[in-house]
């Protein structure tokens, strides 16, 4: 760590993090939206200012994760935090306050990046869209989407869960999804237009002519000539050989 940075021990750091009046609190971390941190003072505020300047942490990094079990701070970039109901993590930078070392991670090409839920928990109580975020969370809870939270924090897992329950999130509203049309079973029926396939003939076929020639068809008999495509009788054809 740079010698000019204000020093802070773990006990003092945890105490000051605990005084932040909003955020999503987990057993070993606090997640907060960065816009509310301007009022953080003391040594923690000074460290934040120095980290931002030293590591050129731009405003793209709009969430901050304070580890509460060690001296580490992560700046997280969720570019679609306001527009997407469950925004995906794009970039992160984690700074070890004890050593000054930083680790950067890029999720841009990750097909299954971490995503956020319960967005209202990250913003201050006076945030203008907090009620909208809360309404979506309540709807998702009632739909049973938070029964197993161990996997829904990743995009593909969340999308599969929504699909399995026939649900879709549009904007910041949970809606039912129209079921897909069932696939047709079996091969499609083939319609043969026989009038386009049969040949038009105006005299008996060669086999019928042979039968007439050898006298195998007698007078008074009727038959159907497939080659001619029509029924006939012997008397009417005896003169066609």
Sign, CA torsion 136/116/123/62: negative
- b (16+ CB within 10 A) / e for 49-60: ebbbeeeebeee
What's the pLDDT at 46? 87
Q: What is the pLDDT of residues 79-101, one digit of tens each?
A: 999 999 999 999 999 999 988 89
Mean pLDDT of 11-37: 93
Write down the pTM of the prediction. 0.71
Report the alpha-carbon distance of residue 36 to residue 43 in Å, rounded.
17
Structure-token match 């003939």, residue found: 201
Q: Read off the pLDDT of residues 179-221 as tens digits, 9 standing for 90 and up.
A: 555 555 555 555 555 555 555 555 566 676 666 665 666 666 6
The alpha carbons of the chain give a radius of gyration, in whole angstroms, of 39
Q: Which residues pair with 154 in a beta bridge?
A: 114
Q: Can you read off the two tokens belonging to residue 113?
A: 């990046």
């Amino acid at each position: 760590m740079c010698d000019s940075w204000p020093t802070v021990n773990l006990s003092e750091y945890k105490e000051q993090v605990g005084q932040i009046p909003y955020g999503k609190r987990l057993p070993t971390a606090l997640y907060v939206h960065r816009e509310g941190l301007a009022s953080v003072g003391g040594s923690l505020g000074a460290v934040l200012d120095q980290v931002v300047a030293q590591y050129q942490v731009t405003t793209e990094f709009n969430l901050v994760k304070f580890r509460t079990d060690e001296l580490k701070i992560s700046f997280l970039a969720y570019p679609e935090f306001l527009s997407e109901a469950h925004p995906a993590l794009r970039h992160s930078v984690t700074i070890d306050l004890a050593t000054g070392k930083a680790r950067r991670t890029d999720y841009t090409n990750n097909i299954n990046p971490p995503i956020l839920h319960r967005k209202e928990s990250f913003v201050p109580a006076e945030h203008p869209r907090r009620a909208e975020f809360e309404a979506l969370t309540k709807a998702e809870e009632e739909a049973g989407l938070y029964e197993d939270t161990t996997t829904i924090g990743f995009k593909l897992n969340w999308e599969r869960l929504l699909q399995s329950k026939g649900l879709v999130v549009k904007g910041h509203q949970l809606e039912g999804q129209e079921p897909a049309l069932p696939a047709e079973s079996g091969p499609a029926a083939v319609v043969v237009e026989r009038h386009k396939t049969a040949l038009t003939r105006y005299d008996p076929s060669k086999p019928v002519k042979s039968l007439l020639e050898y006298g195998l068809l007698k007078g008074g008999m009727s038959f159907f000539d497939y080659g001619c495509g029509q029924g006939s009788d012997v008397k009417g054809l005896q003169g066609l050989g």
